[in-house]
Amino acid sequence: MERDDPPVRRLADWSADRLAELADEHGTPLYVLDLDRVRRNYRRMAAAFPDAEVHYAAKANTVRPALRALAEEGAGVECASPGELRRALDAGVPGERVQYTAVNPPDADLDRAVDLAAENPGVTITAGAPDTVERLAERGYDGRLCVRVNPGVGAGHHEKVATGADAKFGVPYDDVPELVASARADFDVVGLHAHAGSGISGEDLSAHRELVARMGDLAREVGGLEFVDVGGGFGVPYRPDEQPLDLDSVAAATREALGAVEATLAVEPGRYLVADAGVLLTAVNTVKEAPTATVVGVGAGMTTLARPAIYDAHHAIRNLSAAGADRPDRAVTVAGPVCESADTFGDHDLAAPERGDLLAIGNAGAYGYEMASQYNSRPRPASVVLDGGSARVARRRETMADVTRMETNR
Ligand SMILES: *Cc1c(COP(=O)(O)O)cnc(C)c1O
């Protein structure tokens, strides 16, 4: 891997000129994802965990060139639905490197997953409840099965993503050995899985250590496994003053906590591989002086990037049009075009924004486009990928025809 490869790409590191060219050519709002950065993030992760399997959690960004680039690097793919499973396979990821983790799956999901697994030998299906295992057996599935464990510990940057301790996810820890023993009659039980929610941070690895240690204990008790998957949740710095994760120390803590197991370690980073490889470009439409704040109205909103509205997430913002110009910073509130008070990107110090300026919103490569919606009848934006010197549209901008396509009561 590149030794001088920085552990984080900050918003300030992007070329303002290049991004402005892309906005001119493709319009705004526009998602931009740099595949070189995605590859480097993967290589850094793979280098920190040399003996582990790295499965990209596709739900962070399913854009096909990213799935393809990661597959070419050797990544596996962790899928949250049969739709993601389909897309990973279509992107050329071999079946043996794909796993599907079923959370309260509808019958149709299990039908499709079982069919896809039959067509693509080597796919692993992960079940998070004993009756999901029964439902797989009822469908004649006898392939690779992994059991999702509820480890009873959770970590997360926000309560809505702290899934480890949530009863919704996984088989209760103490029930796992019996379930594995009985499932072995019908399936090839290959692994145990746990995911503690997002937000492993450098400051406190204690919850991560505890989860991994519990998984190590369980793997030794159960025995005969191919892998122990300790999930994703590798944090990225959303604020300029936050430090990037020290992957080597996370990896060392993981190995130490796991202890000796006769199974391969697997990790499932989503955000870490794509977040800082992406930005969202948006134009300033209005600048309004109000008694309590200066409000900078932009074209992107909660329908484009939902994380601030859902999680109160902070995303750094930079005024690209002010690059090189001598404009002093101003304290402003950046807000979108949706008639909802949650439709805000929060308070920022920006080089004095003016109508027509181009802003870049950072760390938009993860859970950006994926969570976009058509609320307010807004077509979803386009996504452009950068690959070396070239740029190409990976998802075209939606039109009103896309928004109304499913209507039948004309
Ligand atoms: C969402 C998810 C991940 C990835 O989480 P990140 O915080 O993006 O790393 C990994 N595994 C499972 C099962 C998930 O649901």
CB-ligand 1 contact for 54 (6 Å cutoff): no
Mean pLDDT, residues 39-51 taken together: 97
CB-ligand 1 contact for 57 (6 Å cutoff): yes
Residue spans of the domains in the chain: they are 49-269, 276-404
Catalytic site residue 146? Answer: no
Cα–Cα–Cα angle for 140, 109, 159, nearest 5°?
Answer: 125
Residue of 6, 409, 5, 7 lying closest to 236 (CA atoms) = 7
Atom of ligand 1 nearest to the CA of 234: 9
Residues contacting 147, CB < 8 A, separation 6+: 126, 127, 128, 133, 171, 176, 179, 180, 183, 189, 191, 192, 193
Residue 393: predicted pLDDT: 98
Output the CA 76–ligand 1 centroid distance in Å.
13
Residue of 295, 181, 290, 199 lying closest to 238 (CA atoms) = 199
Tell me the pLDDT band of 13, cut-offs 50, 70 and 90: very high
Q: What is the CATH number of domain 276-404?
A: 2.40.37.10
Q: Is 230 exposed, middle or buried (0-12, 13-18, 19+ CB in 10 A)?
A: buried
339-386 pLDDT, tens digit per residue, is 999 999 999 999 999 999 999 999 999 999 999 999 999 999 999 999
Tell me the pLDDT band of 1, cut-offs 50, 70 and 90: very low
Residue of 187, 192, 185 lying closest to 146 (CA atoms) = 192
170: tokens are: 């996984």
Residue 347: predicted pLDDT: 98
Atom of ligand 1 nearest to the CA of 272: 9
Residue of 70, 29, 63 lying closest to 394 (CA atoms) = 63
Question: What gap in Å lies between CA 305 and CA 366, rounded to an integer?
Answer: 10
Output the CA 36–ligand 1 centroid distance in Å.
22
Beta-carbon count within 10 A of 361 CB: 26
Active-site option among 339, 388, 407, 409: 339
Question: What gap in Å lies between CA 47 and CA 37, rounded to an integer?
Answer: 15
Helix ranges (DSSP H) in 223-334: 247-258, 271-274, 307-311
pLDDT for residue 15 is more than 50: yes
Output the CA 268–ligand 1 centroid distance in Å.
6
CB-ligand 1 contact for 229 (6 Å cutoff): no
CB-ligand 1 contact for 59 (6 Å cutoff): yes
Output the CA 327–ligand 1 centroid distance in Å.
40
81-136 pLDDT, tens digit per residue, is 999 999 999 999 999 999 999 999 999 999 999 999 999 999 999 999 999 999 99
C-alpha atoms less than 13 angstroms from C-alpha of 363 in its C-beta half-sphere: 22
C-alpha atoms less than 13 angstroms from C-alpha of 41 in its C-beta half-sphere: 30
Helix ranges (DSSP H) in 91-204: 107-119, 130-138, 176-183
CB-ligand 1 contact for 84 (6 Å cutoff): no
Residue bearing the CA closest to ligand 1, atom 7: 233
Tell me the pLDDT band of 410, cut-offs 50, 70 and 90: low
Tell me the pLDDT band of 325, cut-offs 50, 70 and 90: confident
Q: Is 355 exposed, middle or buried (0-12, 13-18, 19+ CB in 10 A)?
A: exposed
Question: What gap in Å lies between CA 303 and CA 40, rounded to an integer?
Answer: 29
CATH number 3.50.30.60 given to 49-269: no
CB-ligand 1 contact for 88 (6 Å cutoff): no
Atom of ligand 1 nearest to the CA of 198: 7
Output the CA 21–ligand 1 centroid distance in Å.
33
Residues contacting 318, CB < 8 A, separation 6+: 11, 12, 14, 16, 350, 359, 360, 362
Atom of ligand 1 nearest to the CA of 126: 13
Residues contacting 229, CB < 8 A, separation 6+: 53, 55, 146, 191, 192, 193, 194, 265, 266, 267, 268
Output the CA 231–ligand 1 centroid distance in Å.
6
pTM score, whole prediction? 0.95
**CA 320, chain centre distance (Å):** 26
pLDDT for residue 62 is more than 70: yes
* Strand partners for 246: none
Atom of ligand 1 nearest to the CA of 271: 8
Beta-strand (E) ranges in 194-252? 227-229
CB-ligand 1 contact for 216 (6 Å cutoff): no
Question: What gap in Å lies between CA 238 and CA 241, rounded to an integer?
Answer: 9
CB-ligand 1 contact for 126 (6 Å cutoff): no
145-203 pLDDT, tens digit per residue, is 999 999 987 555 555 555 656 889 999 999 999 999 999 999 999 999 999 876 688 77
CB-ligand 1 contact for 233 (6 Å cutoff): yes
Residue 215: its H or E element? helix 206-222
